[in-house]
Structure 1
């Protein structure tokens, strides 16, 4: 039976920018091997598989190499597809490996309720040395952010101009490396970042919603503002609004645009 399949550019309002994700609508989950094969066929940083349930939707995310625990841009893309193309109305509840994630509409923006992930200092000299070798510089700060590592560089320009060495980068014991800095003086963005995850088959991710679950608690006390506007400075670029949601939760707000809709023939 043909399966509805969409490709959506997330965290942008312009086609061919932001982070592309595939969204595949299922009645029940196929075997993991088939889900992985579909993700490899799509060859995007993430493919989302969504199944309706009595309490909302079950949602899983696959890179071309592995299933992951949390993905922001593919969740935003899924919410966009359900509202824009499937006639679903109201708040969405996604049941995932990271718990229940909710999505709401605020005008042209989609708000995702995600868990914050605090950052703690990295105190492993061998890992610090690998990071410095990969980046060609010693960061101002190196920390652990759940399964990711996070480093701060001296300027937004340093983040944008970074050309990492992927050999040491791929040997880091993490899901991915978040590289960040304050926004340029006088710029509209409070913070900038990039995200590298060669371990997952993603040399550089275009826009990484889940990384901002750590970027917010890292930068909020430094900047002294409750709401932050973030820019991920990849080649495609993307914009995320960050707002506290109470407790250890966070709202990630982004926009999305559908690039194509079709059917997967199996």
Structure 2
């Protein structure tokens, strides 16, 4: 089975978020896909295979299957457009989160994602204790969204994963603030896996509505401030979110099953 490693949300190698894209000719068992993801030990391993004109797409962390992943979807589209169906400029992926469409626009790949609206929640003492600081605001969706005072606070935050693990009602912890050279910035922490995700497209399904409302604009430039870093071009509409980014291929190989 062919596989590719792609750096997503970047135009240069060794930045953005790497994802492994496995191209299968048939459905694989959940056990096999999970074992491959564990072996790869990247934040996401995606599996795609043709289903008529579209593709089936599934995403796995080293530990479990996930319901939505932005950078691996962008990486999968990059592989479709540049290696599997080079004459196509649009691909539909059938996923557990519905059909996700990606359009190639020059060097950018524009994904249409579901709009996930978070609910504002109270700053309870146990949450503040786990975060180790007093946030401006808190929002809850799949992840916990934590609004901070400024970009410098986001950059300088040092997570205490022992404390963050107590926030087990959410998949991840997202810290965010208004940006200096972008509309907003963020960082994403996975307490269960004890690591920081380099660039998290799926989190922007919720971040974009939050900041669109705060800033009063629909088109936003976002930057994720991990060590590798990444840039996302976002648009908020009534029904969905559009997230665009670059991608570059790092490697290609074969998995011997």
Shared fold (TM-score greater than 0.5)? yes
Q: Is the 8 A contact 1:45 1:202 kept in 2?
A: no
2: CA distance, partners of 1:144 / 1:260: 37
Match of 2:189 among 196, 220, 231: 196
Cα distance 1:231–1:69, how it changes in 2: closer, same or farther (>3 A)? Answer: same
Asked if 1:78 is matched to 2:70, the reply is: no
Superposed CA offset, 1:22-67 (max 9, x none): 0000112211111001001110000000010014000000000000
Q: CA deviation at 1:181?
A: 0.2
Mapping of residues 70-219 of structure 1, within 5 Å: 70-88=68-86, 89-123=88-122, 128-145=124-141, 147-172=142-167, 173-184=169-180, 187=181, 189-199=182-192, 201=193, 203-219=195-211
Match of 2:10 among 6, 9, 12: 12
Which structure 1 segments of 5+ residues have no match?
Answer: none
Quote the residue 1:263 is aligned against: 254
Q: CA deviation at 1:177?
A: 1.0
Q: CA deviation at 1:247?
A: 2.7
Q: CA deviation at 1:202?
A: 5.3
Q: Scaled by the length of structure 2, what TM-score is found? A: 0.96
Asked if 1:231 is matched to 2:230, the reply is: no
Q: Is the 8 A contact 1:119 1:143 kept in 2?
A: yes
Aligned CA RMSD, in angstroms, stands at 1.2
Classify the secondary structure of the residue corresponding to 2:93: strand
Classify the secondary structure of the residue corresponding to 2:154: helix
Q: Is the 8 A contact 1:135 1:162 kept in 2?
A: no
- When the two structures are aligned, how many residues end up with a matched partner? 255
Q: Scaled by the length of structure 1, what TM-score is found? A: 0.93
